Amino acid sequence: MNWEIIIKWLPRLLEGAVLTLELLAIAVIAGLILALPMGIARASRNLYIRALPYGYIFFFRGTPLLVQLFLIYYGLAQFEAVRKSALWPYLRDPYWCAAITMTLHTAAYIAEILRGAIQAVPAGEVEAARSLGMSRAQSLVHIILPRAARIGLPAYSNEVILMLKASALASTITLLDLTGMARTIIARTYMPVEIFFAAGMIYLVITFVLVGVFRLIEKWLRVDATYNSR
């Protein structure tokens, strides 16, 4: 193992890690916002409302992220209308394409997590809220969602870690994220083992930090209390 090479290129790798974290942050935050209405609709008792987001979730969970990325980055250019639209400056930029695809992809998974969490809220608590005279919307905002957030948080933190690893795919559309940067450096130095090892260790460190952060959030939201009170 050639440590000098690793130390020499570490600053560039960390530069890539910043881009990775940027993409990750956009995807999991925008994805959560997009997933909220879908998850609520999926947990609806009305068949038509429930079926609406199903197709979206089925498509995004059933196909590889790489296909979705290529569909948006390379595929959209096939249409004249897209190339003439006001959004074209964004849709030809690999950065925004990666951010959009990752957001759409993770939203499908988060919606399913939300659905599971909403359905796991004890029926008695929802009934209690309704019997106190809360409207459906009020009980959703004040009782069901805060409760579902705590139930779904561990699954959401898993999804964030999965998206961190999925963000490596951004390197396939020329972005210099951590993996992309590693590939560029290897093309120059021809030291695949050392550089990929270093990149892998950076991913590991990010994973550990994220796991720690979510553990703190769980403590702060008192996620454990929701389980003890049953």
Partner 1 sequence: MMFDLYGFGPALVAGTLMTIKLALCALALGLVLGLLGALAKTSPYPPLRWIGNVYSTLVRGIPELLWVLLIYFGSVNLMRALGEALGMNLELGPFAAGVIALGICFGAYATEVFRGAILAIPKGHREAGMALGLSRGRILWRLVLPQMWRVALPGLGNLFMIMMKDTALVSVIGLEEIMRRSQIAVTSSKEPFTFYLVAALIYLSLTSVAMVGLYFLEKRASRGIRRA
- Which parts of this chain interact with partner 1 (CB under 8 A)? 58-59, 62-68, 70-71, 74-79, 164-169, 171-172, 179, 182-183, 186, 192-193, 196-197, 199-200, 203-204, 207-208
Closest to partner 1 by CB, 103 vs 171, is 171
- What DSSP element (H or E) covers 197? helix 192-220
Closest to partner 1 by CB, 74 vs 90, is 74
Closest to partner 1 by CB, 149 vs 191, is 191
Closest to partner 1 by CB, 138 vs 158, is 158
CA atoms within 13 A on the CB side of 183: 13
Q: How far is the CB of 194 from partner 1 (least distance, A)?
A: 9
CA distance 178 to 164: 11
Non-local (6+) Cβ contacts of 205 within 8 A are none
Q: How far is the CB of 205 from partner 1 (least distance, A)?
A: 9
Q: How far is the CB of 217 from partner 1 (least distance, A)?
A: 19
Non-local (6+) Cβ contacts of 101 within 8 A are 65, 68, 69, 72, 73
Indicate the Cα dihedral angle 174, 176, 180, 185, nearest 10°.
110
Closest to partner 1 by CB, 135 vs 174, is 174
Q: How far is the CB of 70 from partner 1 (least distance, A)?
A: 5
Q: Count Cβ atoms within 10 A of the Cβ of residue 70 and give its class: 0-12 exposed, 13-18 middle, 19 or more buried.
A: middle
CA distance 116 to 119: 5
Q: How far is the CB of 159 from partner 1 (least distance, A)?
A: 13
Q: How far is the CB of 106 from partner 1 (least distance, A)?
A: 14
**Which value, in Å, is the radius of gyration of the alpha carbons in the chain?**
21
Residue for token pair 């919307």: 137
Closest to partner 1 by CB, 68 vs 106, is 68
